[in-house]
Amino acid sequence: MAPSAVKSKFYKWHRILGLIALVPVIFWTLSGLSHPFMSNWFRPQIAREVFKPLSQNQMKPALSIQQVMDKNNLQELRNFNLVHFTKGTFYQVLGKDSTYNYYSATDGVLLPNGDVQYAEYLARFFTQDSTSTMKSIVLQTNFDGEYQPINRLLPVWKVSFNRPDGMDVYIETGQSRMGTFNNNTRKAFLWVFEQFHTWQFLADIAGDTFRNAFLLVIVSIMLFTLLSGLTIYGLLWKKFKTIRQNQKVKGTEANRVTHRYHRQIGIIVSFVMFTFVISGAFHLFVKLYNNEPFKADYGQVINRKQLGFSNLELPLADSTIKKTGVASFYDNTYYQVVDNKRQVLYFNTLTGKEQELGDEDYARFLSTYYHTTASGLKTFKGRVKVDVIKQFDEEYGFINKRLPVERVGYPNGDNWYIETTTSKLATKVAGIDRAEGLSFIFLHKYFGMTWAGKDVRDIVSMLAALGVLVVSLFGFASFINNK
């Protein structure tokens, strides 16, 4: 095939691929431009973001968990905790049916709708709103458009206020913490981002696997469009130069202005477009690669007979106890105590004796439990390393929500992050997950600009997205002019 024919083929396929990618590019760039407004500049404000529970000596429980169980004829529970709010001090008991009931720590009487009342109390604490009436309080067990998987925590109570800003607060009562909060503006941005950036409508129609596979094809087309454009510019450089010189002589240069700008701006933004496309494709590939069912949360059931030692007589000062629960592993049951230094301590429920390195043992146990057949769990020669993580970092970022967690590190480099106080897997990072995470935050979200501040980083990422949009629109205009 003659060189001119090869160039013509390249040019033809570049236009075809560009037209196919045009609408997705418009969707992704416009929704990408909206993200800084949603997550930074127009992000709603809330009065408090962290709830600090009282210590046990401040809550002054009169009854032990055993006395409360006996008084209410409770033979089993999954977990418990002491909480204090406007109604008094209560044992927050997670029953076998995975629902919370609240029993007074003074007389053991059940508080009707206790979990609803505690959710409202926490929502009013976070908003510091004691006057607005409640629009609704609904228990949410699944993620949706307004409470997305990025928020991690489930189940939560969605507490909606009758306010002009339409404020919704999502509360996880079991840990006395907030999942997220949205006002009307943020809800609108969330809808735009979900529909036009993550293409949730495709998942609603045909499922996540179809959506991810379809988007991976589109991103691949964008990559070939970029590569073919750069190739054409390289192959036809002399031809473009001759054409421009002839246009200047004839005075017809203005007729080809869209073509010129498409080429010139395309060269300028080709690198940022490459980073967007490669990181996006890698992200979608890993989502397809990791498309395995999650193992159900570890669900212990503690019998009353296993609670022989009183939770109010532990060899620990009440002034240091911030949270108390139970954990059952390796055929033993322990009181799981979080102290004022955020340490998690374990005391045998039959003897009251402290278990040394109990949180490490429990993390190893849970990590083994959460390994599925697909993820595998081999017998390694080296010892599994466990260390506590109390702050977010590049590998375990803010997106994971839960702190503190135990990082269970395997000799092959895999890290499994376990929140022992809820017995949940926070996240797992294997080789491909780690590479994808780093590529996404640095090549897609521009975390390499964090040193300049979040505002500068957002402006740079918006300019990059805007550049890709402008190139695409100039390319479409060039196609129309040719016609």
Q: Are 200 and 253 in the same domain?
A: yes
Q: Are 60 and 187 in the same domain?
A: yes
Q: Is residue 115 part of a domain?
A: yes
Q: Are 73 and 119 in the same domain?
A: yes
Instruction: Show the tokens assigned to 266.
Output: 């395309």
Last residue of a domain, one of 194, 220, 247: 194
Fill in the amino acid letter for 383: R
Say how far apart CA 408 and CA 410 lie, in whole Å. 7
Average pLDDT over residues 341-345: 93
Q: Are 65 and 189 in the same domain?
A: yes
Quick one: DSSP state of residue 354?
Answer: B
Q: Are 20 and 36 in the same domain?
A: yes
Last residue of a domain, one of 144, 167, 194: 194
Q: Is residue 140 part of a domain?
A: yes
- Picking from 197, 194, 279, the residue whose alpha carbon sits closest to that of residue 32 is 197
- Picking from 140, 163, 164, the residue whose alpha carbon sits closest to that of residue 151 is 140
Sign of CA dihedral 104, 48, 79, 96: positive
When pLDDT is cut at 50, 70 and 90, the band that residue 15 belongs to is: confident
The pair phi, psi for residue 63, each rounded to 5°, is: -110, 150
Q: Are 115 and 136 in the same domain?
A: yes
Q: Are 426 and 325 in the same domain?
A: yes
* 40 within 8 A of 454, measured Cβ to Cβ: yes
pLDDT digits (tens, 9 = 90+) for 54-105: 999 999 999 999 999 999 999 999 999 999 999 899 999 999 999 999 999 9
Q: How many domains does the chain have?
A: 3
Q: Are 416 and 398 in the same domain?
A: yes
Query: Could you write out the DSSP letters of every residue in 323-339?
Result: EEEEEEETTEEEEEEEE
Say how far apart CA 174 and CA 123 lie, in whole Å. 14
Q: What is the pLDDT of residue 32?
A: 85
* 7 within 8 A of 232, measured Cβ to Cβ: yes
pLDDT digits (tens, 9 = 90+) for 411-449: 888 899 999 999 999 998 887 888 888 788 887 777 777
Alpha-helix runs per DSSP H in 37-49:
none
Q: For 49, how many CA atoms within 13 A lie in the half-sphere containing its CB? A: 6
Say how far apart CA 382 and CA 120 lie, in whole Å. 49
Q: Is 16 exposed, middle or buried (0-12, 13-18, 19+ CB in 10 A)?
A: middle
Q: Is residue 444 part of a domain?
A: no
Say how far apart CA 72 and CA 66 lie, in whole Å. 10
pLDDT digits (tens, 9 = 90+) for 149-183: 889 999 999 999 999 999 999 999 999 999 999 99
Q: Is residue 90 part of a domain?
A: yes
pLDDT digits (tens, 9 = 90+) for 346-396: 999 999 999 999 999 999 999 999 987 665 565 555 578 999 999 988 788
Say how far apart CA 353 and CA 335 lie, in whole Å. 10
Say how far apart CA 103 and CA 72 lie, in whole Å. 9
pLDDT digits (tens, 9 = 90+) for 293-339: 778 899 899 999 999 999 999 999 999 999 999 999 999 999 999 99
Q: Is residue 121 part of a domain?
A: yes
- In b/e form, how buried is each residue of 184-220, taking b as 16+ CB within 10 angstroms? eebbebbebbbbbbbbbebbeeeeeeebbbbbbebbe
Q: Is residue 446 part of a domain?
A: no
* 347 within 8 A of 354, measured Cβ to Cβ: yes
User: How large is the angle between the packed helices 208-235 and 257-289, nearest 10 degrees?
Assistant: 140
Tell which wins on pLDDT, 236 or 443: 443
Last residue of a domain, one of 194, 213, 236: 194
Structural domain containing residue 409: 302-439
Q: What is the pTM of this model?
A: 0.87
Q: What is the pLDDT of residue 255?
A: 53
pLDDT digits (tens, 9 = 90+) for 242-279: 555 555 555 555 456 777 777 777 777 888 888 889 98
Q: Is residue 307 part of a domain?
A: yes
- Picking from 102, 85, 81, 83, the residue whose alpha carbon sits closest to that of residue 335 is 81
Fill in the amino acid letter for 418: I
Q: Are 475 and 411 in the same domain?
A: no
Q: Are 477 and 399 in the same domain?
A: no
Q: Are 70 and 177 in the same domain?
A: yes
Instruction: Show the tokens assigned to 358.
Output: 């109990």
Q: Are 212 and 260 in the same domain?
A: yes
Q: Is residue 84 part of a domain?
A: yes
